[in-house]
Structure 1
Amino acid sequence: MDELLQKVKENLILEHDADDKLLERFITAAISYAESYQHIAAGYYQEHPMPPTTEQAVIMLSSHFYESRDGSTGGFFADNVQAGQQVWHTVNLLLRLDREWKV
């Protein structure tokens, strides 16, 4: 998780370690969401490599959780009332790319 934590911190432009435990919880939640959305077993990404598109979705979702932890939209698009909705839409699109479709 250390590498993913660093990528989330880079995305958030954080240079301190004060919120690392909080970020790790958000990353865990984002990975859990990805596994659920993609219809794969919980813990799958602990034992298998995460595709780049899924990794980007996890980074974006973790960042969104961090920036919106007080319940506001927060972050770069704070002046856009649909920013939170757009983050979820983008994350779901990225996760769909790596989803296992059963026919």
Structure 2
Amino acid sequence: MATTGLLDKVKQNLIIDHTADDVLLNSYITAAVSYAESYQHIEEGYYTTNVMPATTEQAIIMLVSHFYESRDGSTGGFFADNVSASQQVWNTVNLLLRLDRDWKV
């Protein structure tokens, strides 16, 4: 499976060294991968059997981290005092995902 190891990378990014939130993080990973596949115009489940480009992987790590840090509905994390932080995350994620997008017409 190409998405193996994402949990460890997300936990490293979030500086988490426990397993208490693994189920939650895995649900966020599933959602982020689904978003990436949809945004990139590739079939659902593509990244379960195909190599995930590094830029897409980074976008997913960022998006999962954002979901986790913002699970209470705020911008969350270190950027809670910045009202545009949430939009900045989405802009960056989408820019990264565009690099591996299938530009079908």
Tell whether the structures are fold-level matches, with TM greater than 0.5: yes
C-alpha deviation, 1:76, in angstroms? 1.9
Aligned structure 1 segments of 4 or more residues deviating by more than 4 angstroms:
none
Q: Give the count of matched residue pairs.
A: 103
Q: How high is the TM-score relative to the length of structure 1?
A: 0.96
RMSD: 1.0
Is 2:25 the partner of 1:23?
yes
Instruction: Give runs of aligned pairs for residues 56-75 of structure 1, distance below 5 A.
Output: 56-75=58-77
In structure 2, runs of 5+ residues without a counterpart are none
Mapped to 1, the partners of 2:9 and 2:85 lie a distance apart of: 21
- The residue type paired with residue 77 of structure 1 is F
Q: What residue in structure 1 maps to residue 54 of structure 2?
A: 52
TM-score (norm 2): 0.94
Which AA in structure 2 matches 1:66?
Y
Give aligned-pair identity as a percent: 75
